[in-house]
Amino acid sequence: MAKHFLLLNLIVVSFCCAVLAFESSPMQDFCVADPASTVKVNGLACKDPKSVISEDFFFSGLHLAGNTSNTFGSKVTRVNATQIPGLNTLGISLARVDYAPWGVNPPHTHPRATEIFTVLEGSLQVGFVTSNPENRLITKVLKKGDVFVFPIGLVHYQRNVGYGNAVAVAALSSQNPGIISIANAVFGSEPAIATDILVKAFQVDETVVAQIQSKF
């Protein structure tokens, strides 16, 4: 009996933890973000529901290709609670990603979201790396109409492996998924991470660290 009680408690506790690890469910129909509010809450303060209008739930422009003329050859256009105030508290957002031929969306993570990703045009090689100690690369070449998932918090990337431009759309399980670009975070922080730390971490000499830092 005591054993069953313990097991039940364990199940309840792990269920609670799993639930708390994600954005809490809304306690009203919506909570449109109030850009004028100075109140600091986890999320954004709500506008008076009586003053909510259709524009609060609307964004236009995802049909437009992003400008991929940059060092990576890719451009992410994000539609989150900043662009659509009505997404506040709803735990979801969207992105369009454009890739020039051989363009790369470099390794990054979303600390608050799982990403489900679908290719609209072209062919993309995608991948994510599992956590320590395996650090296994799970990778696949996707074509138009294929769907792939990048689990929450894991480092992932995409690369255009076709001859033309490629386009994908990603849905993310947070109104504000956050983006940590690995290279920027490690080599482009402000102030910089001490060189001796990076020398040890990456097992290279100082000149290599300085050279990479100079690019970010």
Which of 47/156 has CB closer to ligand GLV? 156
Phi, psi of 187 (to 5 degrees): -105, -5
Q: Is 105 annotated as a binding residue?
A: yes
63 is in an annotated binding site: no
For position 124 contacting ligand GLV by CB under 6 A, the verdict is no
Which residue bears the tokens 């709500």?
46
Q: Least separation, in Å, of the C-beta of 150 and ligand GLV? A: 6
Interface residue with ligand GLV among 166, 170, 186, 198 (CB under 6 A) is 170
β strands within the chain, DSSP E = 74-79, 93-99, 104-109, 115-121, 124-129, 137-142, 147-150, 156-160, 166-172, 180-181
Torsion of CA 109, 115, 118, 120, to 10 degrees: -60
What's the Rg (C-alpha) of the chain? 21
Phi, psi of 89 (to 5 degrees): 75, -5
Which of Mn ion, ligand GLV, none does 186 bind, CB closer than 5 to 8 A by kind? none
98 binds ligand GLV (CB under 6 A): no
Select 98 or 115, whichever has its Cβ closest to Mn ion: 115
Q: Which residues of the shown chain bind ligand GLV in the complex (CB under 6 A)?
A: 76, 95, 97, 105, 115, 156, 170
Binding-site ranges for Mn ion (CB under 5 A):
115
